[in-house]
Amino acid sequence: MRRGAVTVRRDFAESAGCRSDLVIGREETFHAAREQLARGGSVLLHGPAGIGKSTVLRTLAAEQAPTARTVLRCSATESESHLPFLALADLLGPVLGEVAPALPGAQSTALESALTGRGESTLQRDGLALRLAVLGALRALAAEGPVLVVADDLQWLDPASAELLGFAARRLGDTPVRLLCAVRTGEPQGRDAAYDRQLRASPPDTRAVRLGPLTRPQVAALLDERGYAGLPRPTVREIHRTSGGNPLFALELGRALAEGPTPPRPGEPLPVPTSLRALVLTRLEMLSDEARRTLLVASAGARPTPALLHAAGRDNAEAETAQAMALGLLAPDPEGPAVRFAHPLISAALYAEAPAPERRAAHAALSTAASDPIERARHLALASTGTDPEVAARLAGAAALARDRGAPSVAASLGLLAARHTPADGTPAPDERRLTAAEDAITAGEPDLARDIAREVLTRAASPGERVRAWMVVIEAAGQAIGEVDAVFPQALADAGDDPRLLALVHYQLAWRGLVVQGDFAQGREEAAHAARLAARAGDRRTELLALAFQAQAETLMGHPDAPATIRRALEEPQDARVACHHNGAGSSRFRWLVMSDRLAEARTTATALLREARRRGMAESEVHYLRFLAETELHSGHCGRALELARESLTLARDAGIGEGAGAMQAALAEAAGGDVERALALAREAVRRAEEDGDAVYLSRALAALGHASLVAGDAPAAVGALRRVRELETGAGITDPARGRWQGDLAEALVRTGEAAEAQDVIQATRAHALRLGRESVLAVLDRAEAQLRAARGEHRAAVTRLASARDRLAGLGFGLEEARAAFALAALHAGRAGAAPGAASYDEAARLFRRCRALPWLRQVEAAAVARAAGPRPGPAAVPDGLAGLASMERQVAALVMDGATNREAAARLFVSVKTVEATLTRVYRKLGIRSRVDLVRLAAGRPPG
């Protein structure tokens, strides 16, 4: 097999396998390009400088090269764009000896002259001959096998090569030549014309794929992969903001931080390396000195406007910003008169380049010009040097104002500035202000920052109060991974001494340790009760309320009879406003009790109010929790579409802040299994299990396993469901959890056991669970258990009793408002009727189940109903031999998609038949190709026909 080869830039020639960052955040882009190339089409990647076009191009080229007989490559550069025919020589020079004999004499001579420079060939003189020669050369190569043309940086292509390639590309028709190209777009001063020109010069079937900016989690993943792991989340957030999501810019900023001696102080921008400053400084040098000073003031401001610049002493702001706009440094703001930089990096580079005295002068001007007191205080701090009690007091006041406004992240930043300007003998002391900032960081969902502040304070703090307070921050920052800070507790207890206020704080955290690390609800309850008594003795109402809320939640989950009374105690006045809406407060405990008591409407109202207040106060972690609570409530109510939206939103926020990701994945898995994509549900559930195991979180491990068991049951894998749910039963028995409404997994386990033929164990699960449900009055659980027992009776041949029990379960679940469980009962009833001996084939018996699932938007279940109805209408179906052996190792969704494609369905038709998105079908097909070792739909059809792939 012959391959064309040329010398290209080293970064272009690198093996894709050694670059771990290539696919981060580019999954959809890769998939769209792969599909297009697999169909024999061409791809034009485009986006701004540094966005990752070359890396995507390189990876795609490495993947596609084995499918082509000949690969032609070129990579243009700006410095060589004036050399005629250079790109053409890179592409066709290595294969000139192969194609020249296939061309007419005049064409061969003209092409050789252009590629080698031995002659006087020009586009003006030999235009037609050269055009036909390039087209003929590509056709000659394609006659021997598929050709892949890989061209990077088309904007720098020399005009002669661009003209000849465009002529040939437009005329290739069905010739098996694919173009994989990249061009820079999104540049100022109209440079997108290069993209328009290249698209017009591409084959008619070319798909243009734009590479956009990365999200904040994607930037964080990229930095981790490239060795810049462990950066604080606020720093990663600032890298994302400054880079605008551009991967090259983000990596350069990460490198500058890694190589710098000290990280930037609070309120200071990131260091911008020379490599990035050079991208914008050339244009900055074209500004007048006064215009540059005006832009410096704008870069220092949070929301600069012409009015603010005037108030800061920039009298000619309009003319100077207009000059910057003409140079592409500023861009129009569609939302108002704000002064908006064309890219955040321009602002950062301008600020980084300015001398320190000029920066302080800009902040000094803004400290009086800004209208917002928080902004004035921030600028005053950045304009000042050394300690100053007055500046520190103003900053502390601004932090309190930000906290009241629901901006704890801003409060944390201002608090650290206040500590920096507080004299060592000041009151409050600098470390006290630092700990307040750390607590604000916890509220804002920035545990890394909080932990770093607390650790720094602990290196010098001598006061027991400060030390215990710092230890509490370290424990809070650990989140669900509280087992990782086990060594902290003895030190915290020693520092607390016999002070009941400090001891209450430590014992409250010990309650969480008993629950999360040891999975012992009884121990957690006892520690919480002890903490509540200590706090009450010390007059610490906040800690007392948190401890009572914990005790109430533990009792609720345990099925303890004191739970309602403890909830009432936790809700008594006086209340603490922040505890009242905290995810570990009494409101959260009451929500859990309402859900478990089947009072779904009240639970929804409670969670909605808590979410509203948490958002108002900027309590990021609580917002994540309450979104998840609402998703759970909507799922029970049978509003699967809404539940899916809420669960996805909660998971996105959790990933962004790095808090509660395992719990978010667990709830998202349940929502996907009910109203989304089952394969995604399984992946999320496995992630939740993995995270819980890594964190040593016994509480969420059982819930994650319950989600995995449920998703497996929906996917039709009863043995896997049994395996996961047996572990849940073992864990919850060991933890002392007796209330079956906690996880509601028992009905799934019983049904899965019926499907696997383990009737005795199914009966045992039903009987043991029913005893607890009867004791606690859990009506919805009892109805679900009746549904499971009806299926058990049907398996034993007791059809009449099974029908009676199923109908009763369906009606009771409907009355309680559990829409999805009602639909599942209707589905089981329809299957029972359809399976009775002598029943006439037809789909009528499934109509009610389909209607209920459709009302719930429970798409995975609806697909099961429709498949059952079709199977019933078609009568007996061929056994497993009818399914090609090659599909045996595929998952359920993969088999369904593969079967439809084998029958000739398009991706859109398959998506419509399976009630999923076209993107889901495309992603599933990619997995099918990989598992089967094939490359395209054609190979799949060949496999269906019993022929080997081509």
Q: Residue 202: is it exposed, middle or buried by C-beta count within 10 angstroms (0-12/13-18/19+)? A: buried
The answer to whether 161 and 111 are in contact (CB under 8 A) is: no
SS percent in the chain: helix, strand, coil, step 5: 70, 5, 30
Residue 6 has pLDDT above 60, yes or no: no
Task: Please say whether the beta carbons of 933 and 41 come within 8 A.
Answer: no
Question: pLDDT, tens digit, for every residue of 888-943?
Answer: 667 666 777 888 787 777 776 676 566 555 666 777 888 888 788 787 777 777 77
Residue 455's CB is within 10 A of a number of other CB atoms, namely 14
Residue position matching structure tokens 């509540």: 532
Distances (CA, A) of 363 to 318, 814, 875: 20, 63, 80
| pLDDT value at residue 188 | 44
- The answer to whether 861 and 853 are in contact (CB under 8 A) is yes
As a whole number of angstroms, the distance between CA 912 and CA 907 comes to 9
Q: What whole-number percentage of the chain has pLDDT above 90? A: 47
Q: What's residue 877's pLDDT?
A: 41
The rounded distance, in Å, linking the Cα atoms of 604 and 196 is: 52
Distance (Å, whole) CA 128 – CA 122: 11
Kindly calculate the radius of gyration of the chain based on its CA atoms and give it in whole angstroms.
Answer: 33
State residue 415 phi and psi, 5-degree precision. Answer: -60, -40
DSSP 66: G
- Alpha carbon distance 474, 439 (integer Å): 10
Q: Span 77-103, mean pLDDT?
A: 87
Cβ(593)–Cβ(567) below 8 Å: yes
Alpha carbon of residue 490 to chain centroid? 37
For residue 244, CA distances in Å to 257, 260, 340, 341 come to 17, 22, 13, 11
Q: Rounded to 5 degrees, what angle do the CA atoms 596, 601, 603 make?
A: 50
- Cα–Cα distances (Å) from 841 to 295, 824, 920, in that order, read 77, 21, 32
Dihedral sign of CA atoms 934, 939, 940, 943 in order: negative
Confidence (pLDDT) at 479: 82
CA distances from 50 to 126, 245, 345, 594, 640 (A): 38, 10, 12, 52, 41
- Which residues contact residue 934 at a Cβ distance below 8 angstroms, ignoring those fewer than 6 apart? 940, 943, 949
Beta bridge partners of 73: 150
Joined together, the tokens standing for residue 11 give 């970064």
Q: Once rounded to an integer, what is the mean pLDDT over residues 459-471?
A: 93
Considering all CA atoms of the chain, what is the largest pairwise distance in Å, rounded to the nearest integer?
103
Residue 608 has pLDDT above 90, yes or no: yes
Contact 265, 449 (CB under 8 A): no
For position 195, what pLDDT does the model report? 63
Q: Could you tell me if residue 121 is left (phi over 0), alpha (psi between -120 and 50 degrees) or otherwise beta?
A: beta
Lowest mean pLDDT among 389-403, 495-509, 626-640, 647-661: 647-661
Mean per-residue pLDDT, 454-458: 95
141 with 147: CB under 8 angstroms? yes
Strands 330-331 and 43-47, sheet pairing: unpaired
- Residue 673: how many other CB atoms lie within 10 Å: 29
For residue 404, how many other CB atoms are within 10 A of its CB?
11
| Structure confidence at residue 191 (pLDDT) | 44
* 556 in Cβ contact with 593 (< 8 Å): yes
pLDDT at 849: 92
In this predicted structure, the answer to whether residue 271 has a pLDDT above a threshold of 90 is no
Question: What does the pLDDT read at residue 227?
Answer: 82
* pLDDT higher than 90, residue 811: yes
Model-level pTM? 0.70
Secondary structure of residue 661 in the 3-state scheme: helix
- pLDDT band, residue 883 (cuts 50/70/90): very low
Query: What is the 3-class SS of 109-170, one letter each residue?
Result: HHHHHHHHCCCCCCCCCCHHHHHHHHHHHHHHHHHHCCEEEEEECHHHCCHHHHHHHHHHHC
- Kindly tell me the number of DSSP H helices and DSSP E strands found in the chain: 49, 7
DSSP state of 176: S
* Residue 700 falls in which region: left (phi positive, over 0), alpha (psi -120 to 50) or beta: alpha
Quote the mean pLDDT of the chain: 86
Peptide bond just before 880 cis, omega within 30 deg: no
- What does the DSSP assignment read for 289-315? HHHHHHHHHHHHSSS--HHHHHHTT-T
